[in-house]
């Protein structure tokens, strides 16, 4: 007797005994999954064809319809719609493909969506009718499916939080069986990840744009403020000098002392304003360098002639005539060296300040050491940021806005070098920076 004539009555008997009214197609599906261990879905092709494409989309306006269209193609669904949870925990319809929902008010479905979030399962309209485990939300679930013209609801999770729901319409090739639900669970993870990544990317773009706008406003404010302050300060300093020289008649010692204080205060304010203007020009990329070959030893000698050392403090210049010449803007590099030496004098009461250099490849490494108070480890990175001092307390003994090191580092970087420091509290500090031995492009 042929094999088919034997299997048919046996199969019919089994179905009759179990009382199951399974269709032949369902029996074939079970036989394929659990006996032959085969799936009718080519998972490898699905994930290669769609998921990689989704991860490359960074615009939410593009990824929503792309995901829905892909889901419809993969499952032969009549359409799909997407509901997303916003930052205020409200669900809103974001996109649809082939489906026309009858309404968009989701506030009344809060209990149903909470149930989906707690149970983390794909549910279908048929489940609400036949499955006893979803009886608690049967009415809400059926009402939801009717409103969105949906046959299946696929939850999307990000970090255990319900992020949204994809609603799928009828399938051309059958319903949403267990095998299809397994596929939807896998796709839901990828869909949620793609949407979340796109949202993060958009948030990052928005944050960068806001930071750029804030930086532009800050730079413009500094430039305008510096310009408005420089002119009157220059007049104050100039007139003070004229009066001290006797242009307006003989002055008493008390008047000279007062004018000296006015002049000194004006010079300090002008130096601060100039630093602010330099910083704004650097950050706006408007500072141009006059690059030429520089004799570093001669530059340092000219600077140290103008520095007043405290009693008990000595200076040692270890640069020799054989120190290689560097390429850069002499005025700006002089500004860097002057600030580092001024800082060393300011924060060193007794001991020694020294400057030296050594060749490192195509760069010259310059080192300025002191035996001062040193800088705590937690402050060593911060002092290169604007408006920060190593001692930021209200009782600090040294004045200044803390812009000098920021400007110095940026000037060195404009020359193609870098600046760093090593320091120990009570043992002094060593500032190092590198400068090019060859002009750019050589």
Residues 307 and 429 in one domain: yes
pLDDT confidence of residue 56 = 67
Residues 359 and 299 in one domain: yes
Mean of all residue pLDDT scores within the chain? 81
pLDDT confidence of residue 281 = 79
Question: Residue 24's domain spans which residues?
Answer: 1-38
Whether 442 is covered by a domain: the verdict is: no
pLDDT confidence of residue 389 = 53
Please, how many CA atoms are within 13 Å of residue 223, restricted to the half-sphere of its CB?
14
pLDDT tens column, 80-99: 999 988 888 889 888 888 88
Residues 78 and 210 in one domain: yes
Across the range 239-268, mean pLDDT stands at 88
pLDDT confidence of residue 306 = 84
Residues 341 and 357 in one domain: yes
Residues 156 and 211 in one domain: yes
Whether 441 is covered by a domain: the verdict is: no
Return the percentage of the chain with pLDDT > 70, whole number: 82
CATH of the domain at 55: 3.30.450.40
Measured CA to CA, the distance from residue 360 to residue 256 in angstroms comes to 51
Whether 127 is covered by a domain: the verdict is: yes
pLDDT tens column, 184-211: 998 888 888 888 888 888 888 888 888 8
Q: Tally the domains of the chain.
A: 3
Whether 234 is covered by a domain: the verdict is: yes
Is 50 in a helix, a strand, or coil?
helix
C-alpha pair distances (Å), 398 with each of 343, 347, 401 = 10, 8, 10
Write down the residue that tokens 């995901």 correspond to. Answer: 67
Residues 264 and 211 in one domain: yes
pLDDT tens column, 3-58: 444 545 544 444 444 444 334 444 444 444 444 345 556 666 666 666 666 666 77
Boundary-marking domain end, from 287, 320, 336 = 287
C-alpha pair distances (Å), 394 with each of 195, 335, 389, 397 = 49, 28, 11, 9
Least confident span in 18-27, 147-156, 368-377 = 18-27
pLDDT confidence of residue 417 = 94
Residues 58 and 34 in one domain: no
The b/e string for 396-428 (b: 16+ C-beta within 10 A; e otherwise) is eeeebebbbbbbbbbbbebbebebebebeeeeb
Residues 78 and 222 in one domain: yes
Residues 16 and 31 in one domain: yes
Residues 137 and 277 in one domain: yes
CATH of the domain at 360: 3.30.565.10
Measured CA to CA, the distance from residue 369 to residue 46 in angstroms comes to 64
pLDDT tens column, 255-274: 889 988 998 888 888 877 88
Measured CA to CA, the distance from residue 332 to residue 412 in angstroms comes to 9
Across the range 286-304, mean pLDDT stands at 91
CA 104 to chain centre: 35
Asked if 150 contacts 109 with a C-beta cutoff of 8 angstroms, the reply is no
Residues 130 and 276 in one domain: yes
**Confidence check: pLDDT of 401 > 70:** no
pLDDT confidence of residue 287 = 83
Residues 49 and 26 in one domain: no
Q: What is the pTM of this model?
A: 0.51
Residue 282 — φ and ψ, nearest 5°? Answer: -65, -45
Across the range 288-306, mean pLDDT stands at 91
pLDDT confidence of residue 215 = 76
Bigger pLDDT: 173 or 328?
Answer: 328
């Amino acid at each position: 007797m042929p094999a088919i004539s034997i299997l048919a009555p046996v199969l019919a008997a089994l179905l009759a005994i179990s009382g199951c009214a399974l269709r032949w197609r369902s029996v074939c599906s079970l036989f394929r999954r659990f006996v032959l261990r085969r799936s009718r879905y080519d998972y490898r092709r699905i994930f290669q064809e769609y998921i990689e494409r989704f991860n490359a989309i960074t615009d939410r306006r593009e990824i929503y319809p792309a995901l829905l269209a892909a889901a419809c193609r993969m499952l032969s669904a009549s359409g799909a719609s997407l509901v997303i949870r916003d930052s205020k925990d409200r669900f809103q319809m974001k996109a649809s493909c082939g489906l026309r929902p009858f309404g968009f008010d989701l506030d009344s479905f809060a209990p149903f969506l909470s149930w989906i979030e707690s149970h983390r399962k794909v549910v279908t309209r048929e489940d609400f009718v036949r499955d006893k485990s979803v009886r608690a939300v049967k009415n809400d679930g059926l009402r939801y499916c009717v409103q969105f013209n949906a046959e299946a609801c696929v939850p999307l999770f990000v970090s255990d939080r319900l992020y949204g729901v994809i609603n799928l319409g009828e399938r051309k090739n059958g319903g949403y069986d267990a095998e299809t639900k397994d596929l939807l669970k896998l796709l839901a993870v990828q869909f949620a990840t793609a949407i979340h990544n796109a949202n993060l990317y958009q948030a990052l773009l928005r944050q960068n744009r806001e930071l750029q706008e804030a930086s532009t406003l800050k730079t413009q404010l500094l430039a305008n403020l510096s310009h408005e302050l420089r002119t009157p300060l220059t007049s104050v300093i100039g007139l003070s000098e004229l009066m001290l020289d006797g242009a307006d008649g003989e002055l008493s010692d008390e008047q000279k002392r007062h004018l000296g204080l006015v002049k000194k205060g004006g010079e300090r304010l002008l130096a601060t304003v100039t630093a602010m203007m330099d910083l704004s020009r650097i950050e706006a990329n408007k500072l141009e360098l006059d690059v030429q070959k520089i004799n570093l030893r001669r530059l340092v000698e000219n600077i140290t002639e103008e520095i007043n050392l405290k009693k008990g403090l000595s200076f040692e210049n270890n640069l020799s005539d054989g120190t290689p010449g560097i390429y850069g803007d002499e005025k700006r590099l002089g500004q860097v060296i002057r600030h580092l030496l001024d800082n060393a004098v300011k924060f060193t009461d007794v001991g020694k300040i020294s400057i030296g250099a050594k060749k490192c490849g195509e760069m010259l490494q310059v080192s300025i050491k002191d035996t001062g108070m040193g800088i705590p480890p937690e402050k060593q990175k911060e002092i290169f940021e604007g408006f920060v001092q190593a001692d930021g307390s209200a009782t600090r003994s040294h004045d200044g806005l803390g812009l000098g090191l920021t400007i110095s580092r940026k000037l060195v970087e404009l020359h193609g070098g870098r600046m760093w420091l090593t320091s120990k509290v009570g043992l002094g500090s060593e500032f190092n920076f590198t400068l090019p031995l060859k002009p750019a492009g050589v």
